[in-house]
Structure 1
Amino acid sequence: MTTDSQYLETLLHNDIPLTREMGLQVVDWQQQRLRLQLPLAANVNHKSTMFGGSLYCAAVLVGWGWLHMRLREAGIDDGHIVIQEGQINYPVPVTGAAIAQCEAPDEKVWNKFIATYQRYGRARLNLNTQVRNAGSEEDAVRFSGQYVLHR
């Protein structure tokens, strides 16, 4: 685990205790892509698949974590990140460990977000995240969330 990954996992476990109970692990932060993992056992439902609420949390948290790490890289540490709204789809069940991931939005979108924040002290960013069964390339969850950064 890289120091960035360890930093984020510690932050999540300390600031959002639910993540510790869910068994959330930071897999990696590389090339502006964040991946988190959830074990099935701590998040299982009555159908022996992953609980939808846990999947929603993973989808939101990977976006939150991505934004936190990207802002950290940009040297911006004076803001608070909140999720304002989100839309989620569950096309297939998660039957084992889940991998949640978030990749960078278009560079123009990112630059506008930063410029807006620096000018007004508040900015919104839409991030798309996915959750997959570990080892699969098929999306089990698709999430689109609007995150707000404010001073």
Structure 2
Amino acid sequence: MNSDSRYLESVLHHDIPLTRDMGLKVLDWQARQLRLSLPLAANVNHKSTMFGGSLYCGAVLVGWGWLHLRLKEEGIEDGHIVIQEGQISYPLPVTRDATAICTAPSDAQWTKFLRTYERHGRARLSLETRIINEGSDADAVRFTGQYVLHR
């Protein structure tokens, strides 16, 4: 775990206490990709699979964390990130520990987001995240979130 990963995990556990109870851990932040770990044991439901609410939370948080770290890299620390809207699907059950993943949007989307924020003090960015079962690469959860940064 690099220093950015430790930093983000500290922010999440301090600012969003639910993440501690979920057992959420930051696995890594590299090549503009963020990966979080969600343990099944802390998020299990009555069917011995991961609770849908925990999966939604993990999908939102990996996008929020991605944006938080990316803005930190850009030197932007005067804004507040909120989720405005989200669309989620659950194509597969999560039956093991899981990994939530967020990769970078296109360079054009990122540049437009930054320019809009600089001009107006508010900007929206759509991020796609996914959650996979440990040992698999198949999407168990797909999420698209509209995140807003505002001063």
Counterpart residue type for residue 52 of structure 1: G
**1:105 corresponding residue in structure 2:** 105
Percent identity over the alignment is: 72
Task: Verify: 1:12 aligned to 2:26, yes or no.
Answer: no
**2:148 corresponding residue in structure 1:** 148
The C-alpha deviation readout for 1:31-89, integer Å capped at 9, x for no partner, is: 11000001000000000000000000000000000000000000000000000000000
Counterpart residue type for residue 130 of structure 1: R
**Structure 1 segments unaligned to the other structure (5+ residues):** none
> How far 1:134 moved relative to its partner?
1.1
The TM-score normalised by the length of structure 1 is: 0.99
Cα RMSD over matched residues? 0.4
**1:128 corresponding residue in structure 2:** 128
Instruction: State the distance in 1 between where 2:140 and 2:74 align.
Output: 31
Instruction: State the distance in 1 between where 2:56 and 2:71 align.
Output: 23
Task: Verify: 1:91 aligned to 2:64, yes or no.
Answer: no
**2:68 corresponding residue in structure 1:** 68
Moved over 4 A (4+): none
Superposed counterparts of 1:14-53, under 5 Å: 14-53=14-53
**1:115 corresponding residue in structure 2:** 115
Count of residues paired in the alignment: 151
Counterpart residue type for residue 29 of structure 1: W
Instruction: State the distance in 1 between where 2:39 and 2:104 align.
Output: 25
Instruction: State the distance in 2 between where 1:130 and 1:77 align.
Output: 26
The C-alpha deviation readout for 1:2-22, integer Å capped at 9, x for no partner, is: 111100001000000000000
